[in-house]
Structure 1
Amino acid sequence: MRRDIAFDAEGTILRGWLHLPDSATGPHAVVVMAHGFTGVKEQYLDRYAEVLAAAGLAVLVFDNRNFGASDGEPRGEIDPVQQVRDYRHAITYARTMPELDRGRVGAWGTSYSGGHVLMLGAIDRRVRCVVSQVPAISGPVGSSRRIRSDLVSALRNRFDADREARFRGLAPTVLPVVAEDPTAPCALPGPDAWAFFAATRDIAPAWRNEVTLRSAEMLREYEPGTWVTRISPTPLLMIVATEDTLTPTDLALDAYNRALEPKRLVLMPGGHFDPYTGSGFEVSSAAARDWFVQHLL
């Protein structure tokens, strides 16, 4: 069973879904989840929630502020630390709901939010277990690998110009999230990123192919991998793709090696977007389901 939900994140209304299991009686253990960089809940998060609900777990799915059904301005802007705080608001909201068990809360994140839940698991002990899928580990390192070194100076000049324009009261500069033309500037370059978002246009009409330039600058300030040693004793599952160039595989494996027990690694073949569909989805969703069942049920 799924119903719409909305909650106040200290002045901004965030919206999403609450999936409840059909067969079990409450109060239910609950998993809180949100999407990655510019993603909205219709881009396959409903499928993950259905798998978890079928296993007896409740799932609270929400759109990040400034995206999808949630409120927030400017639209298309991502402050990663604020998104971590919004996970914490979602947990607080979940713990007020009578059909949910306030003592059994898990956190699931993917890509950018896969990094968020590493930080969340380290700082919020209300979280009983964490699943981090193809996570962002280092904004500066990951970003540096996606842009040629001879273009870095021009990008910094764009950041500075945008900052000065905002100081004068102008709207933030926006750029495409993805581009079909491999030479066109965008936040997530590469054919796999274009293919993923192009394929979800019909199922996720709320998604927009635009993000503020300031979001790309804040990405370069974000280091969720520094928190990984502090997650323990909260159980951590990391799902890592072997050929991930967007959130590089080697950074994720290094973070996993630095994490303390209890932990588990699922290394699955393919690139960054393979966990969402086909056989990759079967692997990633089953691994998450089993981890949450083990530690929440």
Structure 2
Amino acid sequence: MSPKGAPRRRGVRIALAALVALAAVLGGLVARQNTYDLREEVVTIRRGGQALEGVLALPEQGKGPFPLVVFVHGDGPVDATHDTFYRPIWESFARAGYASLSWNKPGVRGAPGDWLDQSMDDRAQEAVDAIAWARQRPDVDGGRIGLWGASQAGWVLPKIAAKDPGIRFAIAVSPAVNWHRQGRYNLFAELRRDGASDTEITAALRRRETGLELLGRGASYEEYVHAVGDPQGMTAARWRFVSKNHTADASADLPALRRMPVLLVLAGHDVNVDVAETEAAYRRLLPEPALRVAHYPDATHGLVKHDVENSSLRLTLTALCAPRALFADGFLEDQRQFLASVGARGAKR
């Protein structure tokens, strides 16, 4: 054995031990940052012979009954926690004394059905059924239930309020108003962001107009593919979903929110929704002072900090090591204060 081998091996062992210790420290940090001041209960919401699998997030202490925030997802195959994205929001609500209820969309994580088969009315009725279920629980204050919804939920929240006169408040995060205008805005915003040429912009607009014409006359998916060629991610199921919902416009339904406090949350770097149009519509249709508008200039559509979302590495590390820091400054606290003020007004009645 070489006499030089022993010190080298000792050095390797020391380095490995240091790495193990560092991993333990980082693991403890990650675990602490992903531990929230709330209690989560997995629940099954029975409705119409089917079941919605969800999560009821309760304040850390107490038996209730707690006022409740019902979460209405945006577009896409979203599970109850939105891949843990909701947990910092639930925690801020729990600190205001509120519980939160959320569930897997149909077809997500083994849930029955397919969310792509739903209209906005279907989604609203689903939430109304979930709220009726929640009102039967002794730990929920059935007289103090409100809504939280993001993006596509902007077409769903006022429908829920119209169906359930017991809804007491709403938080609308980056909601759109008109499906067609939102799509046009999003298309232009993404083309500008990606530096598209004039030729590419013209082709994209032509493709969009073709799609709208086909939707207008109820064309099949096969007709769509024949007309545009490469479907570019538009599946048959997605075409079916868009066909059901492309005429959505929140303007007709928003007056259902007039009787309650509404917090409208808007981002400065939103490429999905024209926040100027949204704010104008909400201010036109909802009275002050019940409507409160919160602007976050440095946030993206999902209210994540713009500089964080623009870096895949930074986004991943922040989500892992400091998930509360994903959100725009003030976003979590402003919602907590809104709920606290709603609770104070409710207590005075």
Q: 1:7: Cα distance to partner?
A: 1.1
Matched, 1:266 2:294: yes
Instruction: Pick closer, same or farther for the CA change 1:218–1:285 going to 2, 3 Å.
Output: farther
Alignment match, 1:109: 149
Instruction: Pick closer, same or farther for the CA change 1:141–1:12 going to 2, 3 Å.
Output: farther
Write the mapping of 1:172-211 to structure 2, written as runs, cut at 5 A: 185-186=232-233
Alignment match, 1:232: 258
Matched-pair contact (CA < 8 Å) for 1:137–1:223: yes
Aligned residue among 107, 128, 134 for 1:94: 134
> What CA distance in whole angstroms lies between the structure 1 residues aligned with 2:173 and 2:246?
20
C-alpha offsets along residues 227-250 of structure 1, whole Å, 9 cap, x if unaligned?
Answer: 223311211110011232212212
> What CA distance in whole angstroms lies between the structure 1 residues aligned with 2:154 and 2:330?
17
Q: Percent identity?
A: 20
Runs of at least 5 residues in structure 2 that lack an aligned partner in the other structure: 1-38, 188-203, 306-322, 345-349
> What CA distance in whole angstroms lies between the structure 2 residues aligned with 1:229 and 1:76?
27
Write the mapping of 1:138-177 to structure 2, written as runs, cut at 5 A: 138-147=178-187, 148-155=204-211, 156-157=213-214, 160-162=219-221
Q: Which has the higher contact order (CA 8 A, sep 6+)?
A: 1
Secondary structure (helix, strand or coil) at the match of 1:238 reads strand
Matched-pair contact (CA < 8 Å) for 2:174–2:265: yes
Q: 1:281: Cα distance to partner?
A: 4.6
TM-score, structure 1 as length reference: 0.77
Alignment match, 1:41: 80
Write the mapping of 1:13-52 to structure 2, written as runs, cut at 5 A: 13-38=51-76, 39-43=78-82, 44-52=85-93
Instruction: Pick closer, same or farther for the CA change 1:260–1:249 going to 2, 3 Å.
Output: same
Matched-pair contact (CA < 8 Å) for 2:150–2:175: yes
The structure carrying a bigger helix percent of its residues is 2
> What CA distance in whole angstroms lies between the structure 2 residues aligned with 1:16 and 1:184?
34
Alignment match, 2:101: 60
Matched, 1:2 2:40: yes
Q: 1:27: Cα distance to partner?
A: 0.9
Which amino acid in structure 1 is aligned with residue 42 of structure 2? D
Instruction: Pick closer, same or farther for the CA change 1:283–1:11 going to 2, 3 Å.
Output: farther
Instruction: Pick closer, same or farther for the CA change 1:80–1:275 going to 2, 3 Å.
Output: farther
> What CA distance in whole angstroms lies between the structure 1 residues aligned with 2:304 and 2:46?
31
Which amino acid in structure 2 is aligned with residue 99 of structure 1? D
Write the mapping of 1:240-279 to structure 2, written as runs, cut at 5 A: 240-258=266-284, 259-261=286-288, 262-269=290-297, 270-275=299-304, 278=325
Tell me which structure has the larger Cα radius of gyration. 2
Number of equivalences: 259
Give me the CA root mean square deviation.
2.8
Aligned residue among 312, 328, 332 for 1:285: 332
Which amino acid in structure 1 is aligned with residue 157 of structure 2? V
Alignment match, 2:342: 295
> What CA distance in whole angstroms lies between the structure 2 residues aligned with 1:37 and 1:48?
18
Which stretch of structure 1 is more off in the superposition, 17-26 or 62-71? 62-71
Instruction: Pick closer, same or farther for the CA change 1:131–1:211 going to 2, 3 Å.
Output: farther
Matched-pair contact (CA < 8 Å) for 1:137–1:224: yes
Matched-pair contact (CA < 8 Å) for 2:269–2:300: yes
Instruction: Pick closer, same or farther for the CA change 1:163–1:257 going to 2, 3 Å.
Output: farther
Secondary structure (helix, strand or coil) at the match of 1:113 reads helix
Alignment match, 1:84: 124
> What CA distance in whole angstroms lies between the structure 1 residues aligned with 2:220 and 2:125?
29
> What CA distance in whole angstroms lies between the structure 2 residues aligned with 1:69 and 1:18?
18
Which amino acid in structure 2 is aligned with residue 149 of structure 1? L
Which amino acid in structure 2 is aligned with residue 93 of structure 1? W
Which amino acid in structure 1 is aligned with residue 87 of structure 2? D
> What CA distance in whole angstroms lies between the structure 2 residues aligned with 1:78 and 1:68?
17
Matched-pair contact (CA < 8 Å) for 1:142–1:247: yes
Q: 1:22: Cα distance to partner?
A: 1.7
Matched-pair contact (CA < 8 Å) for 1:143–1:220: no
Q: 1:153: Cα distance to partner?
A: 4.5
Secondary structure (helix, strand or coil) at the match of 2:242 reads helix
C-alpha offsets along residues 179-207 of structure 1, whole Å, 9 cap, x if unaligned?
Answer: xxxx98246xxxxxxxxxxxxxxxxxxxx
> What CA distance in whole angstroms lies between the structure 1 residues aligned with 2:236 and 2:102?
22
Alignment match, 1:221: 247
Matched-pair contact (CA < 8 Å) for 1:36–1:112: yes
Runs of at least 5 residues in structure 1 that lack an aligned partner in the other structure: 166-172, 174-182, 188-208
